Amino acid sequence: MARILVERPELSDRLKLTHVFNRDVSRKRADWVPASVVWTEDIDVVLAASPDVVVEVVGGVTPAREWVGGAIDRGASVVTANKMLLATHGPELLQAASRAGVRLRFEAAVGGGVPLIHGVREGLAGDVLTGVAGILNGTCNYILSRMSATSEPMDVVLRDAQRLGYAEADPTADVDGFDAAAKLVVLAGIAFHRHLRLADVPRRSIRPLTSADFTYANRLGCTIRQVSRVQQAEGGFFGFVGPALVPHGSSFGRNEGANNVVTIYGRYGGESSFSGAGAGGPATAVAVVSDLLALTRDGQGARRDADEWLPASFVAPPPLAYYLRFVVRDRPGILASIAAVLARQGINLDAVLQEPGYPKDRLPFVITVEPCEEAALLESLSELTPADWHAEPPLALPMLLGPLS
């Protein structure tokens, strides 16, 4: 962000970099930053200068919450890229900014360089939005699209993603869905003016996926992506973050590498899609500077982010088709046992797939089932899991083959 401001002198009549606040600033000084810029490790030095805008890109909830709140209380607008902070404290920070007559902008918090939040808030303001579905985590999309293309195991692809800078040394936030869940909470706030608690977002990890899953998905005309989804329903919202089967020809199935793609569904306008680079320093910097420039156009208090994110909750999802993958120590009667347990829950089998060439003591096969209630499916899997013929726990993935695919 600082480099863009320095390298674009035509912005100097609208934006001026005055302070850089960071830990261990003596080691991080850059010779291309103007000598007039104050480098400090003390946030109070920044706030004492009465800045018009404070940019927060530190990440995490603590101490970012205190810094952002302090800036707002001092009468400064804030531009942030911090999705975890917004997912946790978004409603209260928006209310504080409204009371103070300042702005809280966060285009970089979701979608990186994709102007997603602006597009939803401004471009779709005339519609009544009903749902959001997307690929919000570039790290997972890189891993899954490469596994699909090469049949490499996840641990190999993950190590390479770390080497290339797509994944952190600790990839938990990405592969277990925390990062995408936080972004989904922010999107729900923008799209529906409702706040879904981050802890309540149903999450499933991509860790259990194997190359066999991509083989079977391909036989079904699909691939696998980490999908984030939230949709209005009677009494609340339903949604999840996790791996799902999507058709090869869908916008999600075609999305490769570390890119993001998001589709917004409206009552009147139908589907509107956004795609592009979802992560990385340059993309985030562009989004931050775009927010800063928007503040110079709108003025500090000319248009406040006064729309509240009111409390909301998740409800049970509608029936969905599911992909069930079992890895077993093969013996007679296994398929009949599974079918009987599913039948007791009123779940109909759709297809059974078994690829040749796998060892009998770790034999993967797949059952797809017709749309069913999630609770019934989970009850069936709970009954099946203790069986001694499992070589590893069964895996269930939703099959998103309809409008939200």
Q: Which residue numbers are catalytic? A: 183
CB proximity list for 163: less than 8 A, separation 6 or greater: none
Distance CA(291)–CA(295), nearest Å, equals 6
Nearest to 318 by CA among 232, 218, 194: 232
Can you tell me whether residue 37 is helix, strand or coil? Answer: coil
Distance CA(282)–CA(331), nearest Å, equals 55
Distance CA(353)–CA(370), nearest Å, equals 15
Nearest to 310 by CA among 107, 94, 81, 61: 94
> Taking each helix axis from N to C terminus, what angle separates 178-192 and 83-100, rounded to the nearest 10 degrees?
30
Nearest to 164 by CA among 143, 135, 137: 143
Distance CA(382)–CA(367), nearest Å, equals 16
Number of other CB atoms surrounding residue 403 within 10 Å: 13
Alpha helices in 151-280 (DSSP H): 154-163, 172-175, 178-192, 211-219, 251-254
Distance CA(102)–CA(100), nearest Å, equals 6
* Cα 369 → chain centroid: 27
Query: What is the residue-wise DSSP string for 276-323?
Result: EE--SHHHHHHHHHHHHHHHHHH-SSSS------EEE-B-PPPPEEEE
Nearest to 279 by CA among 98, 390, 373, 140: 140
Provide the token pair at 110.
């979701």
Instruction: Identify the H or E element spanning 91.
Output: helix 83-100
- CA angle, residues 95, 99, 102, in degrees to nearest 5: 90
Pair 347, 372: CB distance under 8 Å = yes
